[in-house]
Amino acid sequence: MSTKDYDAIIVGGGHNGLVAAAYLARSGARTLVLEARPKTGGAATTEAPWPDAPDFKVTRLSYVMSLLPPTIINDLQLEKHGYKIFPMGPYYQAFPEGGSIKLYADDAQRNHDEVSRWSSKDADAMPRWDAWLAGLADVLGPLLLAVPPNLGSRQPRDLKQTLRLAWKNRGLNVRTIADVTRLMTMSIADLLDDWFESPQVKGALAVNGVIGTWAGPYEPGTAYVMAHHSIGDVGDGHLGNWGFQEGGMGAVADAIANAAREAGAEIRTGAKVGQILISDGKAQGVVLENGQQLTAKVVVTSLHPRTAFLDHVGRQNLPDSFVEDIEHWKTRSGVVKINLALAELPDFTADPGTNLAEHHTGSVEMAPTMPYIERAFTEAREGRPATRPFSDGVIPTAFDKTLCPDGYHIMSLFTQWVPSDWNEQPHAEELQAYADRMIDCYNEVAPNFKSSILHTDIVGPYEMEHDYGLVGGNIFHGELSLEQLFHMRPAPGFADYRTPVPGLYYASSATHGGGGVCGIPGMQAAQAAIADRRAALRGPVQAVRRARQR
């Protein structure tokens, strides 16, 4: 047996790559992480984008936490390494025609009071809606942590896994299965129409159905996207427990990196991988873009599937059907992130004042109605950036004092949509005009908004793809559309974090459990690699990846 430089090499130091590294290092593997950018974290990154204002830091891409399971937090002792979450306040929408609404994740009485201002029928429906969602979270939460079975395979191991999943879900009844079916197949608009009547309430609840999605609220499947964003606290089954990490999302990645280092992993930044080494049909290591070759028996890649498989592994080393699946992978978003430094908090006409108030502490939305959101999508699908974009805004500095000097604030606007091909060109001037229109929308409901802006940072799909590796600008390495979920993520037959190449494991957000800053793909890929490594120590035959029936 040849001596390898490392036991395990992780390609990509985003949070999933770091989670994989931490678990592998803890299992005793000599582990190396290779990250192309000058810093780790990937889409979970805190940066200071304004050279003339270095004290202002923003979470440049992802901005709120919810899906990181307690298992990972505890296994990696992340709190010891700086993981600290401030729970978010309510959803808040101020309406251009006057008035506002707040929706609370965990306060039924206040929700009732708020919603009653718009519809007493909807206020009465709210507790039933929350209970309905909670019931679904009980089913979907644990499923996010399940390894999808290889459906259709007759291999004993795959059949066993399918039966195990069926057994785990034996408690489901006809009603629950019907509810899950509805959730998976309906549009968020149709689902909300079944429950509520007020356009204002429906607009507020629709936001989670279209976040990061190349689909308007009337598209089938958006009901599931809402559930994915509403589950929160995977494993505990709590709903909607979103929060801000102190120090921004980069601090989550730093906490995981610290845990990985403490377990013995080595992390190299500025180390761009150009190729995964394959010989005798197995992964043997990587070649960096500078030509350096590094070997390991286990390679875990956490990159977008097109980069990981088509660029780094190469079509010639993969089954044709797998290549075709990855070529067909849908990876659009039309998301633009706008980060702002503010001299003062927004002074809403509906809720006046620039002193910190509850409505500044959660999501400060610009999604007043379903038709408003739909119009933004329709324009982008027709090839134009939205005239009036929708935005999921947050002001983390309502809690977090580490991001900017005292008395100032950071506001982060997650906005949609621009055309899905804006990943191909920078579109700098059009993005500036789009951001100006977005700011005007907020200014209509908070007239001090525009004049309070000190600095603006706009990150469009081109930058997301070219600087962060998010191909197509999709925020999750691939759309959360029905045909790309569970046993289909990233490709049928390969949803168990293994790949067609023995020794190569897959830990990106394009696997089941991803996207989002949840670490599940990283943990699962590491566990698959650790299990195969242990099997290899017991006997070589068990270790070789079994032939797939496809």
Residues of this chain that bind ligand FAD (CB under 6 A) = 11-17, 34-37, 42-44, 61-64, 67, 272-273, 302-303, 307, 335, 337, 414, 464, 468-470, 475-477, 508-509, 514-517
Q: Please identify, using beta-carbon distances, which residue of 60 and 201 lies nearer to ligand FAD.
A: 60
Q: Please identify, using beta-carbon distances, which residue of 115 and 253 lies nearer to ligand FAD.
A: 253
Report which residue's Cβ sits closest to ligand FAD: 14
Q: How far is the CB of 71 from ligand FAD (least distance, A)?
A: 16
Q: How far is the CB of 159 from ligand FAD (least distance, A)?
A: 30
Among left, alpha and beta (phi > 0; psi -120 to 50; other), residue 280 is left
Q: How far is the CB of 382 from ligand FAD (least distance, A)?
A: 23
Q: How far is the CB of 506 from ligand FAD (least distance, A)?
A: 10
The 3 state secondary structure assigned to 218-273 is: CCCCHHHHHHHHHCCCCCCCCCCCCEEECCCHHHHHHHHHHHHHHCCCEEECCCCE
Whether the Cβ atoms of residue 497 and residue 521 lie closer than 8 Å to each other = yes
First to last CA, the chain: 32
Calpha distance 155→49 (Å, rounded):
52
Q: How far is the CB of 339 from ligand FAD (least distance, A)?
A: 10
Q: Please identify, using beta-carbon distances, which residue of 95 and 417 lies nearer to ligand FAD.
A: 417
The CA distances from residue 462 to 334, 365, 425, 520, in Å, are 10, 25, 6, 27
User: Taking the C-alpha atoms of 253, 254, 259 and 260 in order, what is their torsion angle to the nearest 10 degrees?
Assistant: 70
Q: 19: closest CA among 532, 544, 545, 505?
A: 505
Q: How far is the CB of 154 from ligand FAD (least distance, A)?
A: 32
Mode of pairing for the β-strands spanning 266-268 and 31-34: parallel
Q: Please identify, using beta-carbon distances, which residue of 329 and 468 lies nearer to ligand FAD.
A: 468
Backbone phi, psi, residue 28, to 5°:
100, 0
Residue with tokens 């090839």: 383
Q: How far is the CB of 40 from ligand FAD (least distance, A)?
A: 6
Q: Please identify, using beta-carbon distances, which residue of 140 and 273 lies nearer to ligand FAD.
A: 273
Residue 347 has, within 13 A of its CA and on its CB side, a CA count of 12
Q: Please identify, using beta-carbon distances, which residue of 149 and 232 lies nearer to ligand FAD.
A: 232
Q: How far is the CB of 477 from ligand FAD (least distance, A)?
A: 6
Calpha distance 309→321 (Å, rounded):
13
Whether the Cβ atoms of residue 405 and residue 55 lie closer than 8 Å to each other = yes
Q: Please identify, using beta-carbon distances, which residue of 126 and 210 lies nearer to ligand FAD.
A: 210
Q: How far is the CB of 99 from ligand FAD (least distance, A)?
A: 27
Backbone phi, psi, residue 479, to 5°:
-65, 150
Q: Please identify, using beta-carbon distances, which residue of 113 and 236 lies nearer to ligand FAD.
A: 236
Q: Please identify, using beta-carbon distances, which residue of 402 and 542 lies nearer to ligand FAD.
A: 402
